[in-house]
Amino acid sequence: MIDEITHFLLPAIEHLQSAAYWVAFVAALVETALVVGLLIPGSTLLLFLGAASASGHLDFTTLLGFAVAGAIIGDNLNY
């Protein structure tokens, strides 16, 4: 089942690379802001994007930067 999901999502990630970085940003932002992280598990999405980065589909440093920026902004909004 995981293979089917990855074969479905990886071509979309390759086609929309810039959108994948923004998805990481929004996932980290939503998970840390306004207690929405209890309802939407952004860490699972970030793990999948990290796996896509490890396989060479995304740039790791850019993905990390977007995820960290989203987490910091979400934390500050929650504060």
- pLDDT tens-digit profile of 9-58? 667 666 677 788 888 898 888 887 766 666 667 777 788 888 888 878 78
**Burial grade of 42 (CB within 10 A; 0-12, 13-18, 19 or more):** buried
Q: Categorize the per-residue pLDDT at 62 as very low, low, confident or very high, splitting at 50, 70 and 90.
A: very high
Q: What is the mean pLDDT of residues 58-77?
A: 90
The residue type of 11 is P
CA atoms of 43 and 61, how far apart (whole Å): 17
Question: Strand, coil or helix: what is 34?
Answer: coil
Q: What is the mean pLDDT of residues 62-76?
A: 91
